Structure 1
Amino acid sequence: MNEEEKKSQQEMDEIDAMDAVHEEETGDLPESRDEEMERLRASSESAEKRVLMAQAEAENFRKRMRRDFEDQLRFASVPLVNDLLQVRDNLHRAIEAADSSSDSAGLREGVAIVAKQLDDTLVKYSVREIPAQGEQFDPNFHEAISQIPSDEHAAGTIAHVAVSGFQMHDRVIRASQVIVSTGPAN
């Protein structure tokens, strides 16, 4: 046998092996045209379903990425707002200190104006105070730092707000630090 005959024989052997594999996959008998058409239709429908599922998955991924991006933009200023809230707290402490002193009316008025301006700016950027005083304790918005008996407040009600809490849009930026009533003293 020369080289060409060997190649030709190898090709024939490969074709026979492929036919044998195809017969094993489809059964011992070769498929009729109708059976082959049905198999091809089923394969085509299956491929179509997979394509549609992949397209739906890609669309869901795009929507999820868009929502995540929008949330990142909406809440990008949270660190800045946290720092501003500390300034606000100090301004309010200065107002309280000015209230206790009798000769600092001008100081108190000036600090009150600055504090009001800061509060207005925070509201402009969708930052609002979480109501707490006299409200029912909610761990989603309030952080209990202590409990005290109180004749004025029912059990589970906030008796005193130590540090005001704030939300930006619907997200809590800082929980209110509160003292919760345990009810009337026995």
Structure 2
Amino acid sequence: MSENEIDEPIDDESNATDDAFASGDIDEVETRDEEMDRLREAADSADKRVLMAQAEAENFRKRMRRDYEDQLKYAAVPLVNDILQVRDNLWRALEAAQSAEDNAGLKEGVAMVAKQLDDQLAKHGVKEIPAAGELFDPNYHEAISQMPSADHAEGMVAHVAATGFQMHERVIRPSQVVVSTGSPS
């Protein structure tokens, strides 16, 4: 190396250009503007990926929050199912007491307890699913059988075997019903 070569500043771009000319790759040399455009596109692409990742993270947080709120809202469903069995027995006792005329005090007491239980369930978002005389809906009713009925059109609930309930908007026990097949003739 000569003394002049050591004192000269090294220009990487001019060396790269010289090398490209020397090897015959003139078409592959990238100008500064092209390089800037390429780098801008890469930066824009990276920005878009970051924004998409942030949006997905926010959607995940919202979904988790909604799932958590639903879990809290419906946490009492197993307890309510157990209480509904007790309610059913209270109503059966009330029906049995109605057949015996001398048990008026018992009948009133059981009726008051059953009403109090229904009021407490309603306070916590548990309500009865209407079924008698309604159009059969598999989302709310469970058909246990079918029978012809002169009083009910085809597809209507002719008899309710067990009352169904829902908590808020979720069915926790469907109504068990007998569905009419229409007129017996």
Q: Shared fold by TM > 0.5?
A: yes
The alpha carbon displacement at 1:28 in A equals: 6.2
Aligned residue number for residue 174 of structure 1 = 173
Runs of 4+ in 1 over 4 A off after TM superposition: none
The alpha carbon displacement at 1:48 in A equals: 0.4
The alpha carbon displacement at 1:102 in A equals: 2.2
* Counterpart check, 1:114 vs 2:119: no
Aligned residue number for residue 70 of structure 1 = 69
Aligned residue number for residue 46 of structure 2 = 47
Aligned residue number for residue 5 of structure 1 = none
Q: Using the alignment, how far apart are the partners of 2:84 and 2:27 within structure 1?
A: 79
Q: Using the alignment, how far apart are the partners of 2:65 and 2:92 within structure 1?
A: 42
Within a 5 Å distance, the mapping from 1:90-109 to structure 2 comes to 90-109=89-108
Q: Using the alignment, how far apart are the partners of 2:98 and 2:149 within structure 1?
A: 26
Q: Using the alignment, how far apart are the partners of 1:59 and 1:117 within structure 2?
A: 44
Per the alignment, in what secondary structure is the counterpart of residue 96 of structure 1? helix
Q: Using the alignment, how far apart are the partners of 2:81 and 2:33 within structure 1?
A: 72
How big is the alpha-carbon RMSD for the aligned residues of Structure 1 and Structure 2? 1.7
Aligned residue number for residue 164 of structure 1 = 163
Deviations 1:86-137 (A, max 9, x none): 0000000000111111221111111000000000000000000000000000
Per the alignment, in what secondary structure is the counterpart of residue 28 of structure 2? coil
The alpha carbon displacement at 1:182 in A equals: 0.8
Structure 1: give runs of 5+ residues left out of the alignment.
Answer: 1-18, 21-26
Deviations 1:10-57 (A, max 9, x none): xxxxxxxxx99xxxxxx9623111111011000000000000000100
Q: Using the alignment, how far apart are the partners of 2:167 and 2:70 within structure 1?
A: 12
The one-letter amino acid paired with 1:106 is G
Per the alignment, in what secondary structure is the counterpart of residue 103 of structure 1? coil
Deviations 1:63-102 (A, max 9, x none): 0001000000000000000001000000000001111112
Aligned-residue identity in percent = 72
Q: Using the alignment, how far apart are the partners of 1:45 and 1:120 within structure 2?
A: 60
Q: TM-score, normalised by structure 2?
A: 0.85
Q: Using the alignment, how far apart are the partners of 1:146 and 1:44 within structure 2?
A: 67
